[in-house]
């Protein structure tokens, strides 16, 4: 297997592997299967693949109905459309009933090619975190995504899974098992803790290395792939052992990982929390690298913001 994989590229093959053993698995699509890469599943299980068309609200209602009949639906669409557009159906038809529907949100955050603000999901974590009974996850890499999908089919209740379209190296170890509400340590450090997830792990690790090499600042880096519930034990340990916490979000700083960490720590162990992310504005059209520089999410920008905050 390659040392670099695109997370969305393994969705169809992994779901097909799961469906081979579990006849209750069904995949729903909103006319995006070439983007969500569920085509392999569609070809292998056409009788358990529902093409709804560009109608995400209807897709959530259909998924809820299938779940009440004992099926295990995975509803797949662009992240912006299966959260903003279908929020009421996700809340009322799925979460309120505590149904076994897994929502796959592809192209989360800023990184949607050049589709621009209408397609950028900068509110999806905030929306889904605020829905009772909903779990929220963004895997670090394709290997963790495989683990998450296998976990999701066994998990009881609704779940929202953000799925990146960017090539990523492997961050999780060979013996890794995903656990909801648990983080994983990517880098040791005692001076501060940086928490992030998904596409921004590489930039965050590079920023941490720069801080160490140039400034002698030892930054602990955590992969917070479980965004709801967050790893409260790791957050509390970081607050007690390091000087401050930095969160790096591919999302609006309002309602993202930074909010989740600050909300928890303000009640149990008040700690300085610096939130790095999109600062309450809409996105723009451009390449992913252009988006990182525009919104201060490149490795250099992350390091500069941390240094400014510490000073």
Mean predicted lDDT score pLDDT of the chain? 95
- Same domain? For 153 and 249 the reply is no
Over the stretch 47-83, which tens digit does the pLDDT of each residue have? 999 999 999 999 999 999 999 999 999 999 999 999 9
225 with 118, same domain: the answer is no
Cis peptide before 5 (omega within 30 of 0): no
Number of domains in the chain: 2
Same domain as 238, residue 202: yes
Matching residue, tokens 């920008």:
301
Q: Residue 260: which domain range?
A: 184-310
pLDDT at 1: 46
177 located within any domain = no
Same domain, 14 and 154: yes
CB 73 within 8 A of CB 26: yes
pLDDT digits (tens, 9 = 90+) for 95-150: 999 999 999 999 999 998 888 778 889 999 999 999 999 999 999 999 999 999 99
List, in order, residues 6 or more apart from 282 with CB less than 8 Å away: 117, 120, 122
Average pLDDT of the residues in 232-261: 97
**Sign (positive or negative) of CA dihedral 132, 16, 72, 120:** positive
Domain CATH for 263: 3.40.50.920
Are 188 and 163 in a shared domain?
no
Residue 175 resides in a domain: no
Distance CA 177, CA 226 (A): 13
pLDDT digits (tens, 9 = 90+) for 192-224: 999 999 999 999 999 999 999 999 999 999 999
Asked if residue 73 is part of any domain, the answer here is yes
Residue 203 lies in a domain: yes
Residue ending a domain, choose from 109, 143, 169: 169
**Residue 120: inside a domain:** yes
The answer to the question of residue 68 being in a domain is yes
- Distance, in Å, from the CA atom of 146 to the CA atom of 46, rounded to the nearest integer, reads 22
32 and 145 in a single domain? The answer is yes
What's the residue count for the chain? 311
Do residue 281 and residue 155 come from a single domain?
A: no
Alpha-carbon distance of 171 to 223, in angstroms, equals 9
70 and 97 share one domain: yes
Indicate whether 230 pLDDT > 70: yes
Residue 56 near residue 88 (C-beta atoms within 8 A): no
- pTM for the model: 0.95
What is the CATH number for 152? 3.40.50.970
Distance CA 169, CA 99 (A): 34
Q: Considering 169, 199, 223, which residue would you say is the last residue of a domain? A: 169
Task: Judge whether 75 lies within some domain.
Answer: yes
**Residues 138 and 206 both lie in one domain:** no
- Is 174 part of any domain? no
Give yes or no: residues 239 and 165 share one domain.
no
For strand 159-163 and strand 135-137, is the pairing parallel, antiparallel, or unpaired? parallel
pLDDT higher than threshold 90 for residue 243: no
The answer to whether residues 141 and 36 belong to one domain is yes
Q: Identify whether residues 10 and 142 lie together within a single domain.
A: yes
């Amino acid at each position: 297997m390659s040392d670099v994989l695109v997370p969305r590229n393994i969705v169809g093959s992994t779901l097909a592997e799961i469906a081979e053993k579990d006849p209750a698995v069904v995949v729903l699509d909103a006319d995006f299967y070439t983007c969500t890469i569920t085509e392999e599943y569609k070809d292998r299980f056409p009788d358990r693949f529902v093409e709804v068309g560009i109608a995400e609200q209807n897709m959530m209602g259909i998924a809820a109905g299938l779940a009440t009949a004992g099926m295990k639906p995975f509803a797949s669409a662009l992240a912006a459309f299966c959260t903003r557009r279908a929020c009421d159906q996700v809340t009322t038809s799925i979460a309120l009933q505590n149904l076994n529907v897994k929502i796959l949100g592809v192209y989360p955050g800023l990184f949607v090619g050049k589709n621009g603000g209408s397609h950028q999901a900068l509110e999806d974590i905030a929306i889904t975190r605020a829905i009772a009974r909903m779990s929220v996850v963004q895997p670090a890499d394709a290997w963790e995504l495989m683990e998450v999908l296998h976990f999701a089919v066994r998990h009881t209740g609704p779940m929202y899974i953000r799925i990146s379209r960017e090539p990523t190296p492997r961050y999780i170890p060979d013996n890794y098992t995903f656990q909801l509400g648990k983080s994983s340590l990517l880098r040791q450090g005692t001076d501060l803790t940086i928490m992030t997830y998904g596409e921004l792990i590489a930039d965050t690790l590079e920023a941490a290395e720069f801080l160490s090499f140039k400034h002698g600042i030892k930054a602990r880096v955590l992969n917070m792939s479980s965004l709801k519930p967050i790893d409260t034990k790791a957050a509390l340990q970081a607050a007690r052992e390091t000087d401050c916490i930095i969160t790096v979000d591919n999302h609006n700083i309002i309602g993202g990982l930074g909010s989740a960490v600050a909300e928890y720590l303000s009640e149990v162990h008040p700690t300085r929390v610096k939130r790095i992310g999109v600062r309450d504005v809409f996105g723009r059209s451009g390449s992913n690298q252009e988006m990182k520089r525009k919104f201060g999410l490149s490795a250099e920008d992350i390091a500069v913001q941390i240094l400014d905050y510490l000073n």
